[in-house]
């Protein structure tokens, strides 16, 4: 296990005041906040910063960390001496351990045991955990069983915490939407003193699909059409999740026109629709014949696209 | 080690969250969720009494974001409500922009 330098993570001195630590944390939290950050490694950095602040922002934990960290340099191999945290009682803020599962082994080894002892005697329900699961659109259309790996803390016979990876096979029901939450009862943190385990909430995320874009239960597909198909109307073949269908392009269709195929989106009650968004594609003028055809069109069609701008043709 | 297949509950109109569920999922007290309802960060459906309240997945997401904003920046809940609305608007606009190929 590597010793983590939490002071370095927050960019503060070991002598920094509580105020300085809070200010440094807020500055970094703003920089790496997953909802706003443009940094590529924002999520990983935010985890580090959160972990550092969970320790340094808490007077008791900081003191314990300072005691144990004296004489150890960052990156050095490290194992906490047995019983090192005896003298400390970690009050912890409500919800302070909410994100334990995302913290490092180092953190868990130092503070996991203490948290465990704190609730050791009392019967306590385990905390709920949160994670996200990425699925394909096809999984939402037809339902699927997908594996998800989770890191969580487990305790050995001596009550020492270990970070263990476990795999859950999750049955994704057909009809789930992007952003929807699914609940796995009893798959959160284990309870203490015979209390029941917490739940695990998974947020559904879709991998980008080469053809379709989902909005709620509705799907959008960009359908390229030739100018004459759009202007004169025609019947063309279009893909749908359920297979190819024949669709009628109404005459006089403009670019961006949406054709709705009712009920051909993500299943549900009611099911979503599939929208075909027309995208008029112009044939390239890459041969004499093609150029002649365009010139013909220009000659035959009295058409001024700028007539509404008040400019003379 | 291969785990057994876990069946799940989709949080939607047929399976909503209670006040207790929502509080627990945020690692918070129910009184805090009542405050969220008061400032409009989450929407209590169904009954007038907190015991009858029902919430959806979106509410849980917003509640957890509000918790993070409170913890990270020490903001008041009504400021958090405004920040959440703005963040959601940005996400919506970004999605529109993406759809337009921008």
Is residue B58 one of the residues assigned to a domain? yes
Pick the range with the lowest mean pLDDT from A67-71, A95-99, A307-311: A95-99
Q: Which of A76-80, A85-89, B39-43 has the highest mean pLDDT?
A: B39-43
Rounded CA separation A280/A225 (Å): 5
Contact B6 A26 (CB under 8 A): no
Contact A95 B8 (CB under 8 A): no
ipTM: 0.87
Q: Which residues pair with A167 in a beta bridge?
A: A149
Domains A125-208 and A212-303 share a fold: yes
Contact list, A127 vs chain B (CB under 8 Å): 24, 27
Rounded CA separation A189/B82 (Å): 32
Q: pLDDT tens for residues A102-153?
A: 667 677 667 764 455 444 456 788 888 888 889 999 999 999 999 888 776 6
Nearest to B27 among A26, A95, A184 (CB): A95
Q: Which residues pair with A247 in a beta bridge?
A: A236
Contacts of B99 (CB under 8 A, 6+ apart): A213, A220
Contact A184 B10 (CB under 8 A): no
Contact A167 B67 (CB under 8 A): no
Q: Does B31 touch chain A (CB under 8 A)?
A: no
Contacts of A12 (CB under 8 A, 6+ apart): A20, A21, A24, A56
DSSP line for A162-230: EEEEEEEEEEE-TT--TT-EEEETT-SSPPBTTPPP--EEEEEEEPP-SSEEEETTEEEEEEEE-HHHH
Contact list, B71 vs chain A (CB under 8 Å): 95
| Residue B88, domain extent | 19-99
Rounded CA separation B5/A200 (Å): 15
Is the predicted pLDDT of residue B50 greater than 60, yes or no?
yes
Q: pLDDT tens for residues B53-66?
A: 999 999 999 999 99
For Cα atoms A103, B7, A129, give the angle at the middle one, nearest 5 degrees. 20
Q: What is the pLDDT confidence band of residue A163, given thresholds at 50, 70 and 90?
A: low
Domain A212-303 CATH (choose: 3.40.190.10, 3.40.50.300, 2.60.260.20, 2.60.40.10):
2.60.260.20
Is the predicted pLDDT of residue A210 greater than 90, yes or no?
yes
Rounded CA separation A227/A249 (Å): 11
Is residue B29 one of the residues assigned to a domain? yes
Percent of chain A with pLDDT over 90: 45
Q: Does A211 touch chain B (CB under 8 A)?
A: no
Nearest to A181 among B3, B11, B29 (CB): B11
- Grouping H, G, I as helix, E, B as strand and the rest as coil, residue A297 is helix
CATH number of the domain within which B75 lies: 1.10.1660.10
Please compute the mean of the pLDDT values over residues A297-307 and round it to a whole number.
Answer: 90
Q: CB of A86 within 8 A of CB of A159?
A: no
Is residue B2 one of the residues assigned to a domain? no
Q: How many CB atoms lie within 10 A of CB A220?
A: 18
Pick the range with the lowest mean pLDDT from A25-29, A243-247, A308-312, B16-20: A308-312
Is the predicted pLDDT of residue A250 greater than 60, yes or no?
yes
* Nearest residue on chain A to B84, alpha-carbon basis: A35
Is the predicted pLDDT of residue A158 greater than 60, yes or no?
yes
Q: Could you state, in order of their start, the residue ranges of all structural domains in chain A?
A: 1-118, 125-208, 212-303
Is residue B88 one of the residues assigned to a domain? yes
Rounded CA separation B95/A206 (Å): 14
CATH of domain A1-118: 1.10.287.110
Please compute the mean of the pLDDT values over residues A16-27 and round it to a whole number.
Answer: 93
At B100 the pLDDT is 73
Helices (H), A34-157: 42-56, 59-69, 105-107, 113-118, 137-142
Structure tokens at B1: 């080690």
In chain B, how many domains are there? 1
At A101 the pLDDT is 46
At A181 the pLDDT is 92
Is the predicted pLDDT of residue A23 greater than 70, yes or no?
yes
Is the predicted pLDDT of residue A86 greater than 50, yes or no?
no
Q: Which CATH class is domain A125-208?
A: mainly beta
Q: Does A29 touch chain B (CB under 8 A)?
A: yes
Q: Which residues pair with A259 in a beta bridge?
A: A276
At A91 the pLDDT is 38
Question: Which phi and psi angles does B91 have, rounded to 5°?
Answer: -60, -40
At A162 the pLDDT is 65
């Amino acid at each position: 296990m590597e010793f983590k330098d939490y002071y370095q993570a927050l960019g503060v001195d070991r002598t920094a005041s509580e105020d300085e630590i809070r200010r440094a944390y807020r500055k970094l939290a703003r920089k790496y906040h997953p909802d706003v950050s443009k940094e590529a490694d924002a999520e990983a950095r935010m985890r580090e910063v959160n972990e550092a602040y969970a320790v340094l922002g808490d007077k008791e934990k900081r003191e314990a960390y300072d005691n144990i960290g004296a004489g150890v340099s960052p990156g050095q191999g490290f194992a906490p001496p047995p019983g090192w945290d005896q003298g400390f009682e970690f009050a912890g803020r409500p919800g302070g351990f909410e994100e334990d599962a995302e913290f490092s082994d180092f953190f868990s080894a130092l503070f996991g045991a203490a948290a465990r002892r704190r609730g050791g005697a009392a019967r306590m329900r385990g905390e709920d955990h949160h994670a996200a699961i990425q699925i394909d659109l096809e999984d939402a259309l037809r339902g699927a069983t997908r594996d998800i790996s989770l890191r969580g803390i487990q305790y050995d016979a001596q009550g020492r915490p270990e970070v263990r990876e476990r795999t859950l096979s999750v049955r994704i029901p057909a009809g789930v939407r992007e952003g929807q939450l699914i609940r796995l009862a009893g798959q959160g943190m284990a309870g203490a003193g015979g209390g029941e385990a917490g739940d695990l909430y998974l947020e559904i995320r879709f991998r980008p699909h080469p053809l379709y874009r989902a909005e709620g239960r509705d799907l959008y597909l960009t359908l390229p059409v030739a100018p004459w198909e759009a202007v004169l109307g025609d019947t063309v073949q279009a893909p749908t999740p359920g297979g190819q269908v024949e669709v009628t392009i109404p005459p006089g269709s403009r670019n961006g026109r949406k054709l709705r195929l009712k009920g051909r989106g993500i299943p549900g009650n009611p099911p979503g629709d599939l929208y075909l968004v027309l995208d008029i594609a112009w044939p390239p003028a890459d041969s004499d014949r093609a150029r002649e055809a365009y010139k013909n069109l220009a000659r035959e069609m009295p058409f001024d696209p700028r007539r509404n701008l008040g400019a003379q043709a | 080690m291969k785990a057994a297949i876990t069946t799940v509950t989709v949080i939607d109109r047929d399976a909503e969250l209670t006040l207790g569920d929502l509080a627990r999922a945020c690692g918070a007290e129910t009184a805090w969720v009542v405050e969220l309802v008061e400032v409009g960060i989450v929407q209590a459906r169904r009954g007038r009494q907190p015991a009858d309240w029902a919430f959806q997945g979106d509410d849980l997401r917003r509640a957890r974001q509000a918790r993070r904003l409170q913890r990270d920046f020490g903001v008041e809940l009504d400021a958090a409500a405004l920040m959440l609305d703005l963040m959601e608007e940005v996400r919506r606009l970004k999605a529109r922009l993406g759809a337009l190929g921008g």
